[in-house]
Chains A and B, each alone.
Chain A
Amino acid sequence: MSALLIIFVTMGLALWLGLQARRGRDMNLEQWTVGGRGFGTLFVFLLMAGEIYTTFTFLGGSGFAYGKGGPAFYILCYGSLAYVISYWLLPPIWRYAKAERLISQPDFFAHKYDSRALGVLVALVGIIALVPYLVLQLKGLGIIVSTASYGAIGPSAGIWIGIVVTTAYVMASGVRASAWTAVVKDTLILVVVVFLGIYLPIHYYGGLGPMFTAIDAAKPGFLALPASGQSISWFDSTVLLTALGFYTWPHTFASLYTARDERIFRRNAIILPLYQLILLFVFFVGFAAILKVPGLTGPAIDLSLLRLSAQTFPPWAVGIVGAAGVLTALVPGSMILITAATLLANNIYAVFRTDADEATISRLAKWLVPVVALVSVYFTLQGGETIVALLLMGYSFVTQLLPSLVCSLMERNPATREGAFAGVLVGVAVVAFTSLTHMSLATLLPSLPTWVHDLNIGIVALAANVVVLVAVSAVTQTRQAQHPLSSAR
């Protein structure tokens, strides 16, 4: 009971802090991070370290390490590669957005291609991609509540509690994220993960080396990539997909607009890869669980970190671990919810109803929050996917925006608006088709070699996207050249 108590108290605290932030009574980060003061730098360092952690890394990462072994290492790769890309990708986006005073991701595409239709499509893709991302946060919340209750609260009930709390948090804190909540979240998660990642291997095995030796003895080859399934082909294509798609999420896009100077992106590219190493602690927990909490399969692998904690520590300590997990799901979850609702209101509804005023749109966005929440609960209750699989699904959708994005940044945009539209549509269609029908390349084209079957579907869709983009652009380019005035829409 005490574990659950701690968790509910934490949720209450988060709600209270959110309300305080909305009333303007929030922590003044400026006081803590004034340049030159050593304490301030350490503070920023800790904050950034904590930001790495979301439900995906905390529960999903440990779960994937527990359930799949070596393939989980992809999570360590894609961030670093994304940061390399960001060095050259982000500054031009930022410059254009600043010059055109853009606010959202769809704005960028709509302006660059002079096409409201493309803007609407980009908004739709963003929303579709955000749903699995939100679902995984809800799944995490459900797991935490359920485990902390030591089975008293079932997983479904846990999910409903999770969504109610998340929606309440959004309503309480509004658009302004609470700095206090971020500080509490980041500090707590960092402490919890580092502690678990060091303590559990030592407690159960006497150290890292002995732990990995024991796992390798019990499951030979598990800690490397298998020959099929999550093979090298899967690994490379998945790392590539997620590295390319890292900055194509609607909320990441919008937040990069707020940077004060483009050099920040380049500097981050140096430091942020190092923060990825903190993921190692999460992996170690998942690995420690393999031989100590055996038998979890399928989507249940996401339970491994919490189950192991419940097995090792007294209830109050489990409560603290759970509390960290709650905050890690609540904060990103609420941000995703707000982003999706805002996209629907601002970038879809407002495009068609040009007479709608700011107040109407804001009110619509607020009421769409519970709507999006309910839709996500529906999908969450359907179950069946691991947290990692859910995020990869989101990536498969959102990365389809990259080709037209990159083209638009070139000196002479080789893509036309028709080409961009068609490319995105085809890419999304491929992913949607295979997801809904639960088919894969293996079932559709069984005669192809294993390495092709193992390719991440998002990459396959991306390839189709590019082909269509190039083809359609070529055709519409000639039409545009022949009728220069017809490009006005």
Chain B
Amino acid sequence: MRGIKWLALLPFIGMLGGVFFVNQVTPLVLGMPLLLAWIVLWVLLTSVIMALIYATDPANRDHIGRDEARSHEAGR
């Protein structure tokens, strides 16, 4: 699943691009200003996305798998 790593772009888009749309105080979400709540959401999503990428990355398998994965990585 080589395409999964492109998910890593989403936090950038969400945080840097999202501000254009959520740059306001109200409505409060969980007591926090909308802008803050949006950022908090993306912090959580970043963790989830990185977990997904980690789980599907062949470089993280055990030693045998890792050497095979190295030859894949060189082409990246």
A residues apposed to B, CB below 8 Å: 70, 73, 76-77, 80-81, 83-84, 87, 91, 207-209, 211-213, 216, 220-225, 232, 235-236, 239-240, 263, 266-267, 269-271, 273-274, 276-277, 280, 283, 411
| Contact residues of B between 10 and 49, Cβ < 8 Å to A | 11-12, 15-16, 19-20, 23-26, 28, 30-36, 39-40, 42-44, 46-47, 49
The residue in chain B whose Cβ has the minimal distance to the Cβ of A232 is B19
Shortest distance from the beta carbon of A222 to any chain B beta carbon, whole Å: 8
| Cβ-based interface call for B50 (8 A) | yes
Q: A274-B43, A276-B43 are in contact. Are A207 and B31 (CB under 8 A)?
A: yes
Task: Compute how far the CA of A70 lies from the CA of B59 in the bound complex, rounded to whole angstroms.
Answer: 39
Shortest distance from the beta carbon of B25 to any chain A beta carbon, whole Å: 4
Please determine whether A70 and B33 come into contact, CB atoms closer than 8 angstroms.
yes
Please determine whether B15 and A213 come into contact, CB atoms closer than 8 angstroms.
no
Which one of A84, A208, A221, A236 has the highest number of Cβ atoms from chain B below 10 Å of its Cβ? Answer: A84
Task: Compute how far the CA of A277 lies from the CA of B30 in the bound complex, rounded to whole angstroms.
Answer: 14
Shortest distance from the beta carbon of B57 to any chain A beta carbon, whole Å: 7
Task: Compute how far the CA of A273 lies from the CA of B47 in the bound complex, rounded to whole angstroms.
Answer: 6
Chain A hits for B47, CB < 8 A: 80, 270-271, 273-274
The residue in chain A whose Cβ has the minimal distance to the Cβ of B75 is A411
Task: Compute how far the CA of A256 lies from the CA of B43 in the bound complex, rounded to whole angstroms.
Answer: 23
Task: Compute how far the CA of A149 lies from the CA of B11 in the bound complex, rounded to whole angstroms.
Answer: 44
Please determine whether A266 and B44 come into contact, CB atoms closer than 8 angstroms.
no
**Looking at the complex, which one of A77, A224, A266, A277 makes contact with B24 (CB distance below 8 Å)?**
A224
Task: Kindly supply a per-residue 1/0 record for chain B positions 50-69, scoring 1 wherever the CB is within 8 Å of any chain A CB and 0 otherwise.
Answer: 11011001011000000000
| Cβ-based interface call for B8 (8 A) | yes
Please determine whether A216 and B46 come into contact, CB atoms closer than 8 angstroms.
no
Task: Compute how far the CA of A439 lies from the CA of B28 in the bound complex, rounded to whole angstroms.
Answer: 38
Which one of B12, B46, B74 has the highest number of Cβ atoms from chain A below 10 Å of its Cβ? Answer: B46
Please determine whether A239 and B31 come into contact, CB atoms closer than 8 angstroms.
no
Q: Secondary structure at chain B's binding surface: helix, strand, loop or mixed? A: helix
Contact sample, A vs B, 19 pairs, CB 8 Å cutoff: A70-B25, A70-B35, A76-B39, A77-B16, A81-B11, A81-B15, A84-B11, A87-B8, A208-B31, A224-B25, A224-B33, A224-B34, A224-B35, A232-B20, A266-B54, A266-B57, A267-B54, A270-B54, A273-B43
Please determine whether A76 and B19 come into contact, CB atoms closer than 8 angstroms.
no
Chain A hits for B43, CB < 8 A: 76-77, 80, 273-274, 276-277
The residue in chain A whose Cβ has the minimal distance to the Cβ of B16 is A236
Q: A76-B39, A209-B31 are in contact. Are A223 and B11 (CB under 8 A)?
A: no
Chain A hits for B23, CB < 8 A: 70, 224-225, 232
Please determine whether B42 and A80 come into contact, CB atoms closer than 8 angstroms.
yes
**Looking at the complex, which one of B16, B26, B46, B59 makes contact with A83 (CB distance below 8 Å)?**
B46
Please determine whether A77 and B39 come into contact, CB atoms closer than 8 angstroms.
yes
The residue in chain B whose Cβ has the minimal distance to the Cβ of A92 is B73
Chain A hits for B42, CB < 8 A: 77, 80
Shortest distance from the beta carbon of A229 to any chain B beta carbon, whole Å: 14
Task: Compute how far the CA of A207 lies from the CA of B50 in the bound complex, rounded to whole angstroms.
Answer: 33
Please determine whether B15 and A223 come into contact, CB atoms closer than 8 angstroms.
no
Which one of B26, B32, B50 has the highest number of Cβ atoms from chain A below 10 Å of its Cβ? Answer: B50
Shortest distance from the beta carbon of B66 to any chain A beta carbon, whole Å: 9
Instruction: Sort A-B residue pairs by CB-CB distance and give the 7 closest, nearest first.
Output: A208-B31, A209-B31, A223-B33, A80-B46, A223-B25, A273-B46, A270-B50
Please determine whether A263 and B35 come into contact, CB atoms closer than 8 angstroms.
no
**Looking at the complex, which one of B11, B35, B44 makes contact with A274 (CB distance below 8 Å)?**
B44
Task: Compute how far the CA of A276 lies from the CA of B60 in the bound complex, rounded to whole angstroms.
Answer: 24
Besides A70-B33, A83-B50, A224-B35, 8 other A-B contacts (C-beta < 8 A):
A70-B25, A73-B39, A83-B46, A212-B31, A235-B19, A236-B19, A266-B59, A270-B50
